[in-house]
Amino acid sequence: MEFPTAPEQTPLCIFGTGDLGFSLGRRLLQSGYRVVYGSRRPHSCGPLPPGTQVMSHGAAAQSANLVFICIHRENYGFLETLLPELRGKVLVDVSNNLKKNQYPEANAEYLQRLVPGAHVVKGFNTLSAWALQNGPSDANRQVYLCGNSAEAKQTVAETATKLGFTVLDRGSLSAARELEDFPLQLFPEWRMPLRLAVGLTAFFFFYLLIRDVIYAYVEQQKDISFRIMVSLANKVFPIVSLIMLSLCYLPGVIAALLQLYRGTKYKRFPDWLDRWMLCRKQLGLVALAFASLHVLYTLLIPIRYYVRYKVAASTISQNRTSEFDTAIAWRTDSYYSVGILGFGLYLLLGITSLPSVSNALSWREFSFIQSKLGYVTLLFCTLHTYLYGWNKFLRPSTYKWYTPPGYMLSLIVPTVVLVVKLLLLLPCVDRTLTRIRQGWERTDPEDGCEKSLLA
């Protein structure tokens, strides 16, 4: 008995045999599609994925309903000679430019003007050849589409979904320029955190340089400039780390205060607060990087020449054994222990912020780690800094040239965040805030009077 054979699947066509065209064809083959390449040199176009066919542009276009244009805009001219073959076809423009506003119109709009009888869809341009060849990952799972034909976009969306990507429809073809600018953006979500980190690092570096190195040279005629490389850096890193960690949780506190003040959750936050809250993950990861540098620099302390020299000189000069101070022992052990615990929680926050880890957690688990444990981390790191300072704030020698030490300045923001958060946790405040976040709104007496008069 012979079973009826399934109808042969219509192939997908790819114009362009470069790295992107090769990777796209290979991925399509792995997903069960037939692939035909269109090339100006069908017999000498270089290596292609096994199982594909290669033919002239005209023949390839005639055999497919969906054509991926994997060539540069400068080479679009030949498409005008294929107007009959491309009429009614869906053309997917995957091209990008070298810089923004390189041309007066988007590449996809230019392609639509060249081939008016086709349905042009902009898409797949935010994916690299590596991502196409190895399959979607958490970092590049999304495919943005835009086009004037809903049917054409649906066809491309079905193909992208079968390849394992998530499709986001950006509207008509007029959004093509925005999509083409996406790959040109350099760390858009990291700009504010990185600028803040650079600014804080520069400020505290020069601040501590003046207080420690220049002060010693001017007032005590001592040259301790060698301490810039390790000692000064090891003061700057934890200061910046603590401030940036507290800045991760400060916008949440401000948002809670705004909701309490307004008595509703249905009013938008200011734009600056929205942008701040969207980059909290980046702020935390940069803070973790500075904390890691602080740990590494601290491990270097015992092997430094300056430290070994001071220890040797102290051993030779002392003829008697000093008494053991239990208070100092408690303080130093507590200082190190709290610091280690704080850094351990720091690492936990950083690991759970990775997409591959956060995707395996439920929303409640992720919220518990990033919020509850996040404030515990901030508490431990702040306590670590307080133990470092201990009673130094009582000594006049601490205020060189009447300026407070750097660690005191670093305690301002985290202390404010923790105190306000503690106030928000008071039962009377927390109960009201919870009701607001569940949809309750405080009634304005004036609004009630106006409503009664209108009635």
What tens digit of pLDDT does each residue of 126-173 get?
888 887 877 655 546 789 999 999 999 999 999 999 988 889 999 999
**How far apart, in Å, are the Cα atoms of 44 and each of 25, 47, 54, 82?**
18, 9, 10, 21
Residue 452 has pLDDT above 50, yes or no: no
The pLDDT confidence band at residue 44, using thresholds 50, 70 and 90, is: confident
In this prediction, residue 183 carries a pLDDT of 84
CB neighbours of 300 closer than 8 A, spacing ≥ 6?
A: 230
Structure tokens of 423? 């106030």
Domains of the chain, start order? 12-184 (3.40.50.720), 188-317+325-442 (no CATH)
The pLDDT confidence band at residue 315, using thresholds 50, 70 and 90, is: low
CA 74 to chain centre: 34
Mean pLDDT score of the chain:
88
Most confident residue range from 113-122, 176-185, 319-328, 388-397 = 113-122
Structure tokens of 429? 């405040």
pTM of the model: 0.73
CA gap 209, 421 in Å, rounded: 34
In this prediction, residue 135 carries a pLDDT of 64
In this prediction, residue 148 carries a pLDDT of 95
CA gap 42, 13 in Å, rounded: 14
Contact 364, 386 (CB under 8 A): no
Contact 25, 48 (CB under 8 A): yes
Residue 448 has pLDDT above 70, yes or no: no
What tens digit of pLDDT does each residue of 98-123 get?
888 889 999 999 999 999 999 999 99
Q: What are phi and psi of 120, to 5 degrees?
A: -90, 135
CA gap 116, 109 in Å, rounded: 10
* Mean pLDDT lowest among 109-113, 296-300, 303-307: 303-307
CA gap 45, 204 in Å, rounded: 58
In this prediction, residue 316 carries a pLDDT of 63
Structure tokens of 266? 């249905």
What tens digit of pLDDT does each residue of 365-421 get?
888 888 889 999 999 999 999 999 988 888 888 899 999 999 999 999 999 999 999
DSSP 55-90: E-HHHHHHT-SEEEE-S-GGGGGGGGGGHHHHTT-E
What tens digit of pLDDT does each residue of 83-100 get?
999 999 999 999 999 888
CA gap 284, 346 in Å, rounded: 9
Classify the C-alpha dihedral 255-258-262-268 as positive or negative: negative
C-alpha torsion 121→126→132→136, nearest 10: -110
In this prediction, residue 4 carries a pLDDT of 41
Q: Which residue has the tokens 């008016």?
A: 116
**How far apart, in Å, are the Cα atoms of 135 and each of 52, 238, 409?**
19, 39, 48
Q: Which residue has the tokens 């507590």?
A: 334
In this prediction, residue 311 carries a pLDDT of 75
